[in-house]
Amino acid sequence: IPALTIERLSKVYDNGFEALKGISLTVEQGDFYALLGPNGAGKSTTIGIICSLVSKSGGRVQVFDADIDEDFPAAKKTIGIVPQEFNFNMFETVSDIVVNQGGYYGMPVELSRERAEKYLKELGLWDKRNVTSRTLSGGMKRRLMIARALVHEPRLLILDEPTAGVDIEMRRSMWDFLQQINAEGTTIILTTHYLEEAEALCRHIGIINHGEIVENTSMRELLRRL
């Protein structure tokens, strides 16, 4: 089974705006998939629906074998999400933010601490573990969101514009990290409006515009045609 199956997904916001016009796509297990499109295309809406942060108007979403309408708790356990906006408690320490997230998934605190140490080290944040998150730079906050999303070791990691506002050097090191965890077996979906980022990282790509998937292909095939 695919890691993610989306069928005829639609979204009409309360103000009547049709943000998704019945999109379908699948992402196979182990894939590194880019959802590429300009601002306003519907990328965040799609991700919000997968994580049940946004209600859908129609269609179906399945994460591995769990339909999000029928068994959201099962879907939630397998997903790690890196939202676009920083949404952590700015006064908690870096370490507590990651450890407490483990509690949210019902993990024993010892295990959460072990994982927090592992991912904070891998993401270059271990020296910052005792500072409050509000003192971190933008790039560090982004890496903190990635560490937090990985604490329960999700099979599917979804990142919404993970490198927006991140300088090129930091972006490269985030790319390396994401490629490493993908190589270790985690399926990754990221949204981006940079073709360059999709090209550097992804095996498959869906291009979304005005709430419609206008292209869904392998990166190799897309580059051959450009």
Chain positions contacting ligand ADP, by CB under 6 A: 13-15, 17, 19, 37, 39-45, 54-55
Reading the block at residue 147, the tokens are 């560490």
Closer to ligand ADP at the Cβ: 54 or 195? 54
**Burial class for 220, CB neighbours closer than 10 Å (0-12, 13-18, 19+):** exposed
Sheet holding 79-82, edge to edge: 79-82, 156-160, 187-192, 32-36, 204-209, 212-218
Name the minimum Å distance from CB 18 to ligand ADP.
Answer: 8
43 neighbors 191 (Cβ within 8 angstroms): yes
Q: How far apart are the first and last CA of the chain?
A: 31
Q: Which residue has the tokens 């509690």?
A: 103
Name the minimum Å distance from CB 13 to ligand ADP.
Answer: 3
Closer to ligand ADP at the Cβ: 45 or 100? 45
Query: Where are any strands of DSSP class E within the chain?
Result: 4-12, 18-27, 32-36, 58-63, 66-67, 79-82, 156-160, 187-192, 204-209, 212-218
18 neighbors 212 (Cβ within 8 angstroms): no
Name the minimum Å distance from CB 81 to ligand ADP.
Answer: 14
Give the separation between CA 98 and CA 161, rounded to whole angstroms. 20
Closer to ligand ADP at the Cβ: 15 or 130? 15
Name the minimum Å distance from CB 97 to ligand ADP.
Answer: 24
Closer to ligand ADP at the Cβ: 21 or 118? 21
Closer to ligand ADP at the Cβ: 38 or 185? 38
**Which amino acid would we find at residue 145?**
M
Name the minimum Å distance from CB 162 to ligand ADP.
Answer: 13
Name the minimum Å distance from CB 40 to ligand ADP.
Answer: 4
Closer to ligand ADP at the Cβ: 17 or 104? 17
